[in-house]
Amino acid sequence: MNRPDLLERILSQRKLRTAQGRARVRRTVTRRDGVKVEVNGRWLTEFAGNDYLGLSQQFEVVSALQDGAGRDGAGAGASHLISGHGAAHDGLEKDIAQWLGYPRALLFGSGFMANLAVQQALLEDGDVCVQDRLNHASLIDASRLAGCKLRRYPHLDPEGALRQLKQSPEGAAMLATDGVFSMDGDVAPLRALSLVARMQQALLYVDDAHGVGVRGPDGRGSVAEARMGVEEVPLQLVTLGKALGGYGAVVVGSDALIQHLSETARPYLYTTALPPAQAAATRVAVKHAQRDHWRREKLQTLIDRFRSTAQGRGLELMASDTPIQPVLCGEEANALALASALESAGFWVPAIRPPTVPEGKARLRITLTALHSPQQVDALVEVLARSWEAIRRIRGAA
């Protein structure tokens, strides 16, 4: 017997990632104040997170978290179906279901767990899940772990989705898509996908992690923005760690589907419930997301300002009107150099590289929030443009 040495394998893979400029480094934030973060003793203006509405530090949300911990403790102590399901969990599920106009909701510890739960509980051998090629990794991994056939169609291509479904006529079918795509910032053609799903008797499942709170009437997300609901989209994922500023996820859907998930989904049955205090805080965040229209209005103003000034300086943007604003850099070395130059100037913007994005499509992933000021956006664009010009000049001379 001559098994591969796992340690040698991972060291070799690490060496290759380093040579390709694809090694990942974890940064530690020691203090946070709005969009300002302290990292390694320096204060940086962050354009890196997903707290789109600025609710993670909102004082009423934080007070609800503190009060909830004082009342219910630090954790739930058990899974939902044992003794861990509390009044705060129940109230949060009802609040989000009512907000989004769905019959029921089910709370999960994370969006990754929720996507796995949906596919494992509904799909089996012989079934198919057809997905946009740029869907979040959790949707892709969920299909593989569920044991169903995974078919992927070209990005934002309903006709491609139709072809893939037609090629798998046997077994049950699910058509899964992000609502807003996390690396490109564009929006799925949900009405066209709904028609495809209906034609092919497939269940349409939308992961709207980056849409709920930001898009649609009263922040109800991409599905509501497309004037659809539970009839067209029987299941929808809402993450609580993006625009709502907290942690966890909720799946909303029809009574029958949610009941089935609550009784059979392994990532729901066999894990401890979210801390009740976190659920209490998110209930307050939901109220703000519904009524604080000024947050979405300010955010959209900042998005428009960034795009107009960045394009005016010759930066290559993608077709996004969401808070996710990628700046294309080409090769990994360009993205890393630009991110480093921005950090030296006091801005934290992540460089996104393959395999997260396709080869030759490395980028800076700039995210805007309602807490940013117009002056901060202008300063970012100015440094970004000057740094990119300098990098291209150096690369051209090399």
Contacts of 179 (CB under 8 A, 6+ apart): 187, 188, 190, 206, 207, 208, 209, 210, 211, 212, 215, 221, 222, 223
Q: From CA 331, how far away is CA 391, in angstroms rounded?
A: 12
- What are the angstrom distances between the C-alpha of 239 and each of 41, 139, 206, 384? 31, 13, 12, 31
Q: Is 260 labeled as ligand-binding?
A: no
Reading across the β-sheet that carries 29-33, which strands appear in turn? 29-33, 36-39, 42-46, 347-348
- Could you tell me which residues come within 8 angstroms of residue 38 by beta carbon, excluding any fewer than 6 positions away? 29, 30, 31, 32, 44
Kindly report whether the peptide bond that precedes residue 355 is cis, defined as omega within 30 degrees of 0: yes
Residue from 156, 191, 162 nearest 175 by CA: 162
User: For residue 333, what are its two tokens?
Assistant: 């070395």
112 is in an annotated binding site: yes
Helix (H) and strand (E) counts for the chain?
Answer: 14, 14
**38 backbone φψ class: left, alpha, beta (φ>0; ψ -120 to 50):** beta
Distance linking the first and last C-alpha atoms of the chain:
50
**Binding residue per annotation — 155?**
no
28 is in an annotated binding site: no
What the block records as the tokens of 245 is 């500023």
Cα–Cα distance measured from residue 398 to residue 391, given in angstroms and rounded to the nearest whole number: 11
Q: Is 136:277 a contact under the CB 8 Å cutoff? A: no
136 known member of a binding site: yes
For residue 45, say whether it is annotated as part of any ligand binding site: no
As a whole number of angstroms, the distance between CA 133 and CA 29 comes to 33
> Residue 211 burial by CB count (10 A; 0-12/13-18/19+): exposed, middle or buried?
buried
What distance in Å separates the CA atoms of residue 258 and residue 279, rounded to the nearest whole number? Answer: 19
Axis-axis angle for helices 158-166, 190-199 (nearest 10): 20
Q: Are 228 and 194 in contact (CB under 8 A)?
A: yes
Annotated binding site for substrate: 24, 136, 356
Annotated binding residues for pyridoxal 5'-phosphate, as ranges?
Answer: 111-112, 182, 210, 239
Binding residues: 24, 111-112, 136, 182, 210, 239, 356
